[in-house]
Structure 1
C-alpha cells in the first residue's frame, strides 16, 4: 500500500467527514488530518471529544454549529490549520459547514474537503431505484407553502428524490408523499445505516406509510422513485378524480389522506370528503 500524501504546510481548513454509524468507516486520511490540525471545530464538543478520545487524539475543540457559526472568522484567525467535523457524515450536506467554507473563502484560506461518509448515497443504491439521475432534497420544510411546494416538486420530478427525515415525522411525511405522488409510487426507507440494526424497507409509498405508522428510531433516509413515463403530472388536476380516489383507497389510503389529495387537485373540501368516504367504504368487505 503506498504511503499517504503528506499533509501540506501552511494555513488551511479541512472539512472532515465522520462515520454515520460504524467507526470503521473513518478514513486513514481523516485521522491524519485530525492529528495535524491546530484545533478541531465541531457541532457538539462532547460527541467530537469522544471520537477524538477513541482515536487517541488530543486537540482544542471549538463549537461551531448553526447557532455559533457567526464566530467562524475569529476561529480562522486564531487557528491557522483548522479541521471541521459535523456530528456525522460530510459537513455542509444537511449539516453546518457551508458557512465556514464561505468564511474561509472570504479570508483567502485554502480549503480541502475530504471524501468520506455520507448517508444519502448508500441509501440511494440500497433503494434499488434509478440512481443515474437524482435530486437530493435534504430535510423538507416542516409546514406551510414551502413544504407543499417541495412535495409537489418531488411528485412531478422524473428522477429519483432523496430526503432526510426524523423518526417522529416519518409517518406523516410518507403519508403526504403518498398523497402527492400517488400511493403506488415506489420508494424506500433506510434507517441506522452501518449500525447494528440497519434496515432498508422497499415498497409503495402507501405500504411504507402503513409500515411505519407506529413510528421507528434512528437516522432515516427516504428515497422516492421518479414519476414514471406516461404518468399524469400529479401537480395537474386529474381528469377523473373518482378513478384516482379509488386507486388510492385500493392502496390502503384512509379517508383523510384521500380527501387532502383530492383537495390539492382542485376539489372543494365537501366534495373531496364525500368522494373519499365513498371509495373507502366501497373497499370494506
Structure 2
C-alpha cells in the first residue's frame, strides 16, 4: 500500500493540531455552558479554533488523496500530521483566511499543499486531489448544520446555536468559493487536467492572482449580494435562517456593541 512507503512519524498527528482541538473543545464548552463572562469572546475563540481545524482538514484531505494517488512525498513534507505550520503557504492557508473571517464573515479558501503532480497518473486522480479539500468543507458544513436539519435544537443554548450557524456559513462560503473554476482555486484544479495544453499554458500566469480577483469581486455590492443570497439559500435548505447567522457573526465580533436581540429566539 502507498501508506506503507511513509514513515510512522510522517503520519503522527501533530501536538499543534491537538492543541487547536483542545482550544475548540474548551471554548465550545464555555460557549455552551455560558461559563465565560463575555459570551462573545468564547464564541470568537470557538469559531476561530474550529475554523482553523477545518482548514487543517481541508489541506490534509488534499495531501491524503495525493498520497493514495502516488505522491509519497507528502509524508516527508509533514502534510499528514495536520500541523498548520507545515503548509507551504501558512500565510495563505491559515492566517489570511482567519483575517478575512474577522473582516467580513467570509470563509475564504486558503492556499494549497504542494503536490508533485508528476508522480500521479490519470486525470481523474488529479481532479479528485483538487476536489478533496472543498469536499471536506462540505462535510464540515453538514456536521455543523445537522442539529438544524435534524430538528435537534431542543436544549441547545442560543449562543452555541448561533456560533454553529456562523461556523456553517463559513464552511458553505469556503466550499462555494473553492469550487469556482478560477485559476488558483481548487475548482480550476478539478477541470485543469481535462483542458487542452494550450489553454492551460495561457491561464497559468494568472493562477497567483485568482484568489485576489475573487476577493476583490466580493467587495462589489451587486456581486456580494448575489453571492450571499445564494449562500443564504443553501443555509436555509440546511435549516439555518439569516437571523441565526447574523447573530453568530455579531457574537463573533465581540469587540463591537452586542445586539441584545440575539439573546432570544427569532
The TM-score normalised by the length of structure 2 is 0.27
Higher helix share: 2
Instruction: State the structure with bigger RCO (CA 8 A, min sep 6), 1 or 2.
Output: 2
TM-score (norm 1): 0.26
In our comparison, the structure showing a higher alpha carbon Rg is 1
